[in-house]
Chains A and B, each alone.
Chain A
Amino acid sequence: MAKWLIRRFLLLIFVLWGITTLTFIIIAAVPRNPAIAMAGSQSSPEQIEKFNKRWGLDKPLAVRYYEFYAYLLQGDMGTSIRTERPVALEMRNFFPATFELATVSVVLSFLIGVPLGIVAALKRNKWPDQVTRFVSLIGVSTPNFWFGLIILLVFYYLLGGVGPGRVTSAAYEPTRITGLYLIDSLVTGNWSSFVDCLRHIIMPAFALGFFGIGIVTRMMRSSMIDTLSKDYIKAARARGLSLFRVITNHALRNSLIPVLTVIGVLYGAYLGGVIVIEVVFSWPGLGNFAYNSILKSDHPAIMGVVLVISIIYSLVNLVVDVLYRYLDPRIKF
């Protein structure tokens, strides 16, 4: 296990290096100067030169590439050109909101997708199966921003739901411990804050997670059908277990194992899709930050966002792998 973890860790570092290099190249290739984006197209050549000098944009690319890693190894991700604050600090501020949103989306996808998948498997080709098939088809094929806008329209304007953001007002913000509001409010026992946060997160999480509900439902259905056809299920039935007990004691765990791998995929999709949803729902997270940074060609900030999202994505996949091996006794490390 230790050896396996070390190998995975080295691989992770290699992947992160690859992703940051790629991002660096793309940023360098886009012919857009942050000076113009920031200072405006009316700025004089002197102003631009001064700007470039201040942010180190006058240095050759190779030097800038080297410096990025040199500072990174000391824990310094540079300074955002747009906000003039350290990128690391911005990450600490914005990241928890995004991680919380993506996690709630993943949890929602499973909470809804798994039971739907089971029902569809048990009622194969009957109407419950057809209905879930239709719902998941919509989920998989609807662009999440469109779905988000519909939710916004229906729940916020027509039904008068909660406003944008993570909380109604600063008064509801829990004492900051992890930055994950749901957890912080629970830990500090701040019940009214917890309810307010939950009410705010549920709609964007649903808009983001609808796609995953579809995927989890379909995967759970086929995995469950596969498991139910196994001899050990027949054997368990022949031992006198009720269908319900057979499913909870024998079928559920074995059919969940392959579905769990999709958690990694979902985090990837959600962390990628979060930009649009955060902008739509005014969610103060990395997605919004990334959106504004890209508009202003804020190079250090973009590098920071990409790096943090890649790290999280890789770590989540690592955790899923460990979980998978733990659940299936046949797999050894």
Chain B
Amino acid sequence: MEEKLLEVKDLSVAFNSYLGVAEVLDRISYSVDENQWLGIAGESGCGKTVSAFSLLKLLPEAAMIRNGEILFKGESILDKSEREMRKLRGGEISIVFQEPQSALNPSKRVGENIVESLRLHQGIRGEEAKRRAIQMLDLVKIPQPRVRFSQFPHELSGGMQQRVCIAIALACHPSLLIADEFTTSLDVTTQQEILKLVVDLQRQSTMSVLFITHDLALISECCDELIIMYAGQIMERGKVDRVFRNPSHPYTRLLLNAIPSISRKDEKLNSIDGSVPGLVNPPKGCRFHTRCKQKIPGRCDVVFPRETAIDETHRAWCHLLYT
């Protein structure tokens, strides 16, 4: 089997909050292959962003990694020093945020951010750095890159700002790009343009993408595999087409039903009843049992189900799948 780019094993993360200890990630495991798009989907607050930031070891002070292992190119991230992590951040693993207007320093010319990264990771400075930065802006299809280089974020549209953020993230040719809901704040057309841009750029290089979103439709457009998360636990994972064709977890089925589709537009919009449980003293067993219509009392609310293989890569964690 080929070497995995990233492997997360049994990762648990908890937050100290004034309400108590919130168990935000509960023993999640996944892996990313080279050149792969992996989608992570789930409702707001299920821990997608936290799992992304754990990869960079940039969690807030209140967070603690309770358990687990993260291997990047075979090396343990949790054992790395801050100094080694700084090389990784922006050099090997980059991240693009949800809101480009707040992810760019308002008092810095946009190009300077790229120059800063180039200097930090590749030791390129001066005119050469500027030339490379303008090249990057051109690469993400920003018209008049020379002019844009010395503009301030507020002089660019949201779509342009996100292109700049992508240019910054890709400046040092990372092997993993984390895209944390990076199209959510844009209008639908721009969303498609930006997504297409990243798909193209990914094809031209050797880079994997961890695409975090709550929009399953977007995942179906670009991802090879996906993970369905609920309240800090992984419910199901597998190749996108397999999971879509044969959703095996009740939560996945609900999510898929909730996608509004044009053909069914006169039906009422499906939504999932109930809400995500609090993560301080979370429900025991499978955390989804409080909203699951097929819950088996005495089992679902007692232990977390074991892994069930649906096919070679398709896995689900649900008591209904075995007896």
Give every chain B residue within 8 A of A237 (Cβ-Cβ): 58, 89
Partner of A330, one of B104, B113, B121, B152: B152
Q: Which of A71-79, A103-111, A141-149, A238-246 contacts B (4 or more CB under 8 A)?
A: A238-246
What secondary structure prevails in chain A residues at the interface with B?
Answer: helix
Q: Does A329 lie within 8 Å of B152, measured CB to CB? A: yes
Among B56, B107, B152, contact of A254 (Cβ-Cβ < 8 Å): B107
> How many positions in chain B have a CB within 8 Å of any CB in the partner chain?
28
Return the CB mask of B136-162 against A: 1 if under 8 Å, else 0: 000000000000000010100000000
When the two chains form their complex, are residues B107 and A239 in contact, meaning their CB atoms are under 8 A apart? no
* B117 interfacial contact with A, CB 8 Å: yes
Chain B residues, CB < 8 A from A257: 107
Q: Which of A3-11, A228-236, A305-313 contacts B (4 or more CB under 8 A)?
A: A228-236
A327 at the interface (CB under 8 A from B): yes
Q: Tell me whether B97 is interfacial, beta carbon within 8 Å.
A: yes
In the complex, whether B91 has a CB less than 8 A from a CB of chain A is: yes
Known: A230-B102, A231-B102. A240 touches B107 (CB 8 A): no
B86 proximal to A (CB < 8 A): yes
**Closest Cβ neighbor of B52 among chain A residues:** A238
Nearest chain B CB to A223's CB is how many angstroms away? Answer: 13
Q: Are B95 and A238 in contact, CB atoms less than 8 angstroms apart?
A: yes
Within 8 Å of chain A (Cβ to Cβ): is B88? yes
- The A206-260 residues at the B interface (CB cut-off 8 A) are 230-232, 234-242, 249-250, 253-254, 257
Give residues of chain A (314-333) contacting chain B, Cβ–Cβ below 8 Å.
327-330
C-alpha spacing A76/B173, complex, angstroms:
71
Q: Are B90 and A328 in contact (CB under 8 A)?
A: no
29 residue pairs A–B, Cβ–Cβ below 8 Å: A230-B102, A231-B99, A232-B102, A232-B104, A232-B106, A234-B103, A235-B95, A235-B97, A235-B104, A235-B168, A237-B58, A238-B56, A238-B90, A238-B94, A239-B89, A239-B94, A240-B87, A240-B90, A240-B91, A240-B121, A241-B86, A241-B116, A242-B86, A250-B108, A253-B107, A257-B107, A328-B107, A329-B154, A330-B152
Give the B-binding residues of A (Cβ under 8 A). Answer: 230-232, 234-242, 249-250, 253-254, 257, 327-330
